[in-house]
């Protein structure tokens, strides 16, 4: 299809150029052209660099002016204790965004939908916005928690002691830009 077609590449040379500074206002322009050109020792006006802002995009440096509101639901330890639930997963299933979460009765091995050949019986896994337990990032004190079963990113919430939890923050907006592919459906941070 491209038989007989030639490809020719070339580069253009880049050379430094000097732009003469405009004469100060009120200066007479009686001199010759060589008098109007600034010499190499002529200082540049101090306000030559003012007026233009440099905007850097694609930076991961956190800045207050770029903080966007995220839908965060926070639960305190008192609210968890007053609910009467025996584990944190049963408490968090009251959050509308976590209705697809798996608890220990669904991962017992007897349920055909969630039976797992890797022996994942009794796991409590969170599923934000019903995008799957592998798409929910679980943090403990702001750090990633280890997965609860083999070949999966899903975290077993049973491994987090309920009595040591001071607060649970549930970020239901997509957070993959900040946290990576694990945070596609959102983030649950146990503090």
pTM score of the predicted model: 0.57
Q: How far apart are CA 184 and CA 172, in angstroms?
A: 10
* Residue 11, token pair as written in the block: 């580069």
**Using 50, 70 and 90 to split pLDDT, how confident is the model at 189?**
very high
* Average pLDDT over the chain, rounded to an integer: 73
Q: Is residue 121, in this structure, part of any structural domain at all?
A: yes
| Predicted confidence (pLDDT) per residue in 14-30, tens digit | 666 667 777 777 766 55
Q: Is residue 9, in this structure, part of any structural domain at all?
A: no
Q: Name which of 24-33, 94-103, 109-118, 139-148 the model is least confident about.
A: 109-118
DSSP 64-109: GGG-----EEEEEHHHHHHHT-SSHHHHHTTSGGGTT-B-TTTTSS
The residue to which tokens 């896994």 are assigned: 125
| Predicted confidence (pLDDT) per residue in 131-165, tens digit | 888 888 999 999 998 887 778 888 888 888 888 99
Please report, for the domain that includes residue 186, its CATH number: 2.170.130.10
In this structure, are residues 88 and 162 in contact, taking their beta carbons and an 8 Å threshold?
A: yes
Q: Is residue 129, in this structure, part of any structural domain at all?
A: yes
Does residue 188 sit in helix, strand or coil? strand
Domain that holds residue 128: 69-190
Q: Is residue 175, in this structure, part of any structural domain at all?
A: yes
Q: Is residue 2, in this structure, part of any structural domain at all?
A: no
Domain count across the chain: 1
Q: Is residue 7, in this structure, part of any structural domain at all?
A: no
Q: How far apart are CA 146 and CA 70, in angstroms?
A: 25
Which of the two residues, 48 and 189, has the higher pLDDT score? Answer: 189
Q: Is residue 154, in this structure, part of any structural domain at all?
A: yes
Residue 87 clears pLDDT 70, i.e. is over it: yes
Q: Is residue 83, in this structure, part of any structural domain at all?
A: yes
- Predicted confidence at residue 77, as pLDDT, reads 93
């Amino acid at each position: 299809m491209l038989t007989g077609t030639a490809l020719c590449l070339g580069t253009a040379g880049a050379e430094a150029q000097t732009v003469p500074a405009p004469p100060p206002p009120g200066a007479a322009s009686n001199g010759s052209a060589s008098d109007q050109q600034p010499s190499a020792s002529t200082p540049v006006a101090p306000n030559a660099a003012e007026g233009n802002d440099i905007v850097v995009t694609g930076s991961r440096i956190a800045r207050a002016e770029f903080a966007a509101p995220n839908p965060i639901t926070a639960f305190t330890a008192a609210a968890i204790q007053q609910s009467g639930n025996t584990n944190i997963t049963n408490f968090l299933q009251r959050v509308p965004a976590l209705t697809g979460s798996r608890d220990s009765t669904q991962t017992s091995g007897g349920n055909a939908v969630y039976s797992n050949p890797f022996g994942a019986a009794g796991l409590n896994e969170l599923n934000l916005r019903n995008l799957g337990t592998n798409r929910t990032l679980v943090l403990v004190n702001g750090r990633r928690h280890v997965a609860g079963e083999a070949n999966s990113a899903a975290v077993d919430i049973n491994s987090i002691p309920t009595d040591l939890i001071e607060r649970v923050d549930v970020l239901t907006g997509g957070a993959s830009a900040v946290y990576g592919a694990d945070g596609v459906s959102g983030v649950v941070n146990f503090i």
